[in-house]
Chains A and B, each alone.
Chain A
Amino acid sequence: MPTPITNIEAIEPKLLPGDLAIWLFIFMELLVFGIFFIIYAVVRIQNIELFNHYQLTLNRELGAANTLLLITSSYFVVRAVHAIKADNIKNCIYWLYGALAGGAGFLILKSWEYVDKFSAGINLSTNTFYMFYLSLTMFHFLHVILGMVILFAIAIKAKRGAYSAQNHLGVETGASYWHMVDLVWIILFPLVYIIR
């Protein structure tokens, strides 16, 4: 006699981790950034000398450090998801704090970069390159903050015992969003700082 199937997920693995709603949201976020990246590319082709010239004024070392910070932080949320799947709430929270620290590091380095640019008198109206540089990175900056708010909320909920090996949808949902924030930076950094 065949055993009755009690857990659908056991035979049919879910296509997307986390809540479907966050994927709709992620899709729309990527759409926004995607449009921005395409416009950046088109405008760059039309002003190639201007873009190449001012691109050299950006701080690539800080950008590279920030890339490492976000990738590491993304790894930490992966560990947090694994921890909660193993019912290890304490570790899950520690990994989330680690990820938050990565995000905070990113914000600090980025602010330093901005202070440097602003004190040189650069603003959105300086030229088209700086307009894109500032608006793209600042828009991403806001997403890092939002991602951190989400991770923090999850850490607090985890502390209150809201998640477990059976119920970890919330952790996966927040982790998915954080990966998106990371992914956008991984495209943004070479696009604006490196590619010539």
Chain B
Amino acid sequence: MKYESQGIAKMYFIAAIALFVGQILFGVTMGLQYVMGDFLFPEIPFNAARMVHTNLLIVWLLFGFMGSAYFLVPEEAERELYAPWLAKLMFWIFLVAGGLTILGYLLVPYARLAELTMNDLLPTMGREFLEQPTITKIGIVIVALAFVFNIGMTVLTGRKTVINLVLLTGLVGLAVFFLFSFYNPDNLVLDKYFWWFVVHLWVEGVWELIMASLLAYVLIKVTGVDREVIEKWLYIIIAMALISGLVGMGHHFFWIGAPAYWQWLGSVFSALEPIPFFMMTLFAFSVVNKRRRDHPNKAAVLWALGTAVMAFLGAGVWGFLHTLAPINYYTHGTQITAAHGHMAFYGAYVMVVLTMISYSMPLMRGKKAANVTAQKLEIRSFWMMTLSMVAITLLLTAAGTMQVYLQRYSAEPLPFMIVQDKLAIFYWLREVAGLIFLSGLFLYIYSFFAKGKEVEFIAEQAE
């Protein structure tokens, strides 16, 4: 750690991991509710558990991105953070607002929460992933603006690197596109458009910039490969991500009442969306193969490579599985979507945040890398979480395929609930995989406290 203010990342990362645990706890609760419908009812109904599961994911990833930015940007810009106090203040505001919102979801019925927060003044509630009360949304905008200001001033008054600028572009985009969540048209199709302008332009647009820059940063650090080489890759990857991703948004407009041309545009452009992810995989492996040093933090290298592979599989391959319009005609809104959602979020965004944490946490604790035992445990937790996520994805894909066949494709289609009953075996196995994931997460947390022999490493070349 070269600059003191980088240390602010630590509190963000700790909060992120704590919320991650919450997300998975609600995930396994919901997984059980798939097969035991009245589990924890009426205290935690399925819809509330689902809302908490997805909202916690978004909030903890945002904590992770912010923490990563606070760690990365000062070092890249070669100066202290513009306003460390602002970063600390925003942390507490965001944590308290996030916590209150989650409590609101759990303690009062959603309609009552809407009343309490005066949603009728500016109605923004009730849309998947954007369920937050309007005041929380305003809070998110304030936190995001303060954050972008802080990071922006640090970048603009310091050394400007490609990584910093790509990251800043991604973060500005993140803040700007969130503004679409305040517009809530009466027309249901238009409403979906604006909803996707937030959701899609985040996860298949600007978040990819954030992810690519974080990955590039860690790869520079752990491999010592020339910055110029990595920056060139970064340019091509983000150009391709934006070209394919922006028009690729069309794949969300199939069969919802939007014009038919989206079927062509959406199919063609989203068929290209796996390419930047594939390039990211090539990039990560070629850079690690060309490494000029063996970094003592083996776990961080593994996370970085894992991110590239799993993002390609989850976002690229599993996304492509159902983005061609004729296929989506059958798979729209089935468990295939859930399969893709799980692996894409884990592979791309969860893993890139964990990569950053893995690389930076030891540095913030005054070491080059975690001790031998801790790294061993962390690597084991990597495999537990990653493989169980692969299992969840495969099981949901199997469930989805069967669902499509029984409910939509066979000569005598069955009703939704009958089909769900027939899928129970997949849901049970998915729950088992979910519990393994949870254990992996606990092991991951434990690895931070494990004591052991410090790693030995050879003196290295500059940077």
Contact = CB atoms under 8 A, between A and B. Distances in A.
Contacts of A19: 232
A149 interface: no
Most buried by A among B232, B239, B264, B265: B264
Contact of B240 (A28, A39, A124, A135): A28
B275 A135 contact: no
B261 A21 contact: no
B272 A31 contact: yes
A124 B259 CA distance: 9
B260 A125 contact: yes
Interface in B226-279: 232, 235-236, 239-240, 243-244, 259-261, 264-265, 268-269, 271-272, 275
Contacts of B269: 32
- In terms of DSSP, what is the predominant structure of the interface of chain B? helix
Contacts of A135: 261, 264-265
B239 A25 contact: yes
Nearest to A29: B243
A24 B259 contact: no
A131 B264 contact: yes
Contacts of B244: 32
A39 B268 contact: yes
A32 B246 CA distance: 14
A171 B353 CA distance: 39
- In terms of DSSP, what is the predominant structure of the interface of chain A? helix
Contacts of B265: 135
A120 interface: no
A29 B239 CA distance: 11
A35 interface: yes
Interface string B207-241: 00000000000000000000000001001100110
A193 to B, nearest CB: 19
A35 B271 contact: yes
A131 B261 contact: yes
A32 B243 contact: yes
Given A21-B235, A21-B236, A31-B272, A39 B264 contact: yes
Interface in A20-66: 21, 24-25, 28-29, 31-32, 35-36, 39
Interface size class of A (residues with CB under 8 A): 10 to 19
A35 to B, nearest CB: 6
Contact of A25 (B236, B264, B268): B236
Contacts of B240: 25, 28
Contacts of A32: 243-244, 268-269, 272
Contacts of B232: 19, 21
Contacts of B239: 25
Contacts of A21: 232, 235-236
Interface in A116-140: 124-125, 131-132, 135
A43 to B, nearest CB: 8
Contact of A24 (B236, B261, B268, B271): B236
A18 B269 CA distance: 27
A28 B275 contact: yes
Nearest to B262: A124
A132 B263 CA distance: 12
Contacts of B271: 35
Contact of A125 (B243, B261, B268, B275): B261
B189 to A, nearest CB: 13
B190 to A, nearest CB: 16
A34 B271 CA distance: 13
A36 B268 contact: yes
A155 to B, nearest CB: 20
Nearest to A142: B243
A35 B272 CA distance: 10
A34 B420 CA distance: 42
25 contacts: A19-B232, A21-B235, A21-B236, A24-B236, A25-B236, A25-B239, A28-B272, A29-B243, A31-B272, A32-B243, A32-B268, A32-B269, A32-B272, A35-B268, A35-B271, A35-B272, A39-B264, A125-B259, A125-B260, A125-B261, A131-B261, A132-B264, A135-B261, A135-B264, A135-B265
Interface of A: 19, 21, 24-25, 28-29, 31-32, 35-36, 39, 124-125, 131-132, 135
